[in-house]
Amino acid sequence: MKKIFLSLLGIVMFFQNVNCQQVDPVYLNTYPVYKGNDLGTVYKRYGTTVRVYAPTAEVLRMNLYKSGDDGEPYSTLPFNKDLNGTWVIKIPGDQVGKFFTVQAKINGNWQNEVTDPYAKAVGVNGNRVQIIDFAKTNPVGWEIDKSPVFTRTKSMQDAIIYELHLRDVSIDPSSGIKNKGKFLGLAEPNTKTKTGESTGLSHIKELGVTHVHILPFFDYNSVDEKQLNLSTYNWGYDPKNFNAVEGSYSTNPVDGSVRIKELKTMVAAMHTAGLRVVMDVVYNHTAVNKLSNFHQLVPGYYHRMKNDSTFADASACGNETASEHPMMRKFMIECVLYWVKEFHIDGFRFDLMAIHDIETMNQIAKALRSIKPDILIYGEGWAAGSPNMPQEKLAFKRYVAKLDSIAVFSDDIRDGIKGYVFDSKAKGFVNGNPALTETVKFGIVGAMSHPQVNMQKAFWDKVPYATAPGQVINYADCHDNLALWDKLAVSAPEATVEERTQMQEMAMGIVLTSQGIPFFLAGSEFLRTKKGVENSFNRPDSINAIDWNLKAKNIKVFKFVQQLIQIRKTHPLFRLQTADAIREQLSFMELPDGVIGYTIQRKSEKDLWKTVMVVCNSLGSKQEIALPAGTWKLAISNSNPSAINAGKLTVEKLTFTVLYQ
């Protein structure tokens, strides 16, 4: 039975509600563990070898096809049983371009034909593995492609993350991009709107962020890659082949090598533009339950099963995976390493990370940093249901200090800034709820303890959870829930467009000056709207596409955000290195609720500014603030000018201002 299931997080997927075979959870611990690093397909001109883990199979066979999609197998060959639950087959001769499926016989029954979970190249819609020569997937110059430097101190808070969906960024005619909705669209330099504003890659470069977080581009289930005009849209949080590239973003989804080459072309273009690429990964569940390749090959092993042998479902998408099982843990580690080695990926965002155990996440971090020391790792420190495992072992937000430099999203600052996301009318600090002042202050200090933040007045978490500045992602919006501009429209209908613009500027100001790692949704720098649609995961381009004409229309906001980014990058005071430094050097001024003001004093930081002052007045009237002694200069403000004289600063209503000495 197919259902549509709406999760709390606004992620919706199809899932199959079916019973599965009885598997004793204790027995799972006795499954053999294969330690080699050669699972999957190894292509050589004189022969192809495939190794698959299927410890409970009585027989494993390969069905060979000429096409990635239709027709009968031209040959069916048996695998040979090999070490520690694995099966191996060697096919002599040059097999390039051939396709195959694997099929296990378990308890006397043939399971469905599936792809091997280690499939790195697949045919259209990811139903068959393709044998390709990876040496031929490299674009010109790939061997000299290098990730740009973004931090010299390995401080993750030096990152500024921009979150986008590949199709949204180029599909609108206003983008001026030729390869609309494709990897290649984000590789096109010097694209412009009709009025001459840069778009796509050039826009992101102009904006000045360091990292571009791209919504899922591993092979996902929900978009039919065979459709020529691809009228269906999806965010892609429904994994099918974790090691393969999604076909709908390629110019030819029939040939599995094309998407690989085009993704590499995009990564190289972004690196050349000084940008790092973050991949959104979704190991917490599979798009389908029983019919997933995991379950068809090793029933009940890769997912967490309940005592009644149904699928546990903390993803609210039908199932949850079992990272604590050694071969699932190994799979995740090898998968992320593959994306870094083959595609030069610079960071990972883990969807519903709290479904994964802390030990696995730390092993992933260690493995990744052994090959890329400044890789950025972060995730959602929550699940969409209650995982079928002791909570204290899982990567929940409150345990972030146990994670090895893996950041979690701060929903505290998100909802503090703009209001609770699950009540669209709820107001936050910038749109008229001074009661959330303390919650925003907690966000400003990176969700750490601070002597001037009263956690009893914080709205959500009452206990600081972070212990270092690189442990939190500060944000006001992302793909989930209403875009910031839409949230402001719904929650502050009484405000004028000009006032709401100032609210958006305050929100961006707070995100980009707080201690931690700033993050925002693509287009929020020029008031992007998704027309009030809260959960746009499968909505048409008319809702999701970025309208680049908004950039010229709201160029003042764009320039404000661009300047904030420049200030953050130039001044280490906004990127302090330790919790103690934040407690010692950042001090809040005594101001009424609805107004936040604080200074940061320079100590050992190499900053041209001795002291910086940030003042955000979300109240509906101007405020006079006593200035500490010394000469203050204006760095940035969204109200022009902010009066600074005779030891006093006057800030207009709804303004965000930074001063310095």
**Which residue ranges make up the site for Ca ion (CB under 5 A)?**
126, 219, 246
Cα four-point dihedral sign 648, 501, 569, 599: positive
Cα four-point dihedral sign 618, 624, 627, 631: positive
- Alpha-carbon distances, residue 377 vs 282, 324, 448, 492 (angstroms): 13, 19, 19, 35
351 is catalytic: yes
CB of 53 or CB of 249, closer to Ca ion: 249
Nearest to 359 by CA among 392, 397, 314: 392
CB 131, min distance to Ca ion, A: 19
Given the residues 380, 412, 505, 607, the one annotated as active site: 380
Which SS3 state, helix, strand or coil, does residue 126 take? helix
> Within 10 Å of residue 385's Cβ, how many Cβ atoms?
16
The closest residue (CB) to Ca ion is: 219
Tokens of 132: 């390709």
CB 627, min distance to Ca ion, A: 57
CB 332, min distance to Ca ion, A: 20
Alpha helices (H) along 372-476: 411-418, 437-444
Place of tokens 């998407």: 259
> Rounded distance, CA 3 to CA 636, Å?
50
- 8 Å CB contact between 558 and 504: no
Rounded to a whole number of angstroms, the distance between the first and last alpha carbons of the chain is 65
CB 628, min distance to Ca ion, A: 57
> Rounded distance, CA 511 to CA 638, Å?
15
CB of 222 or CB of 623, closer to Ca ion: 222
CB of 172 or CB of 219, closer to Ca ion: 219
CB 250, min distance to Ca ion, A: 10
> What are residue 212's DSSP bridge partners?
162, 277
φ, ψ dihedrals at 184, nearest 5°: -65, -25
Nearest to 123 by CA among 264, 253, 262: 253
DSSP 588-611: E----TTEEEEEEE-SSS--S-SE
Given the residues 145, 168, 219, 351, the one annotated as active site: 351
CB 5, min distance to Ca ion, A: 20
Residue 272 contacts by C-beta under 8 Å, 6 or more apart in sequence? none
CB of 174 or CB of 292, closer to Ca ion: 292
CB 287, min distance to Ca ion, A: 9
Tokens of 91: 């096919």
> Rounded distance, CA 46 to CA 40, Å?
17
Tokens of 620: 């509906």
CB 452, min distance to Ca ion, A: 50
380 is catalytic: yes
Residues labelled catalytic: 351, 380
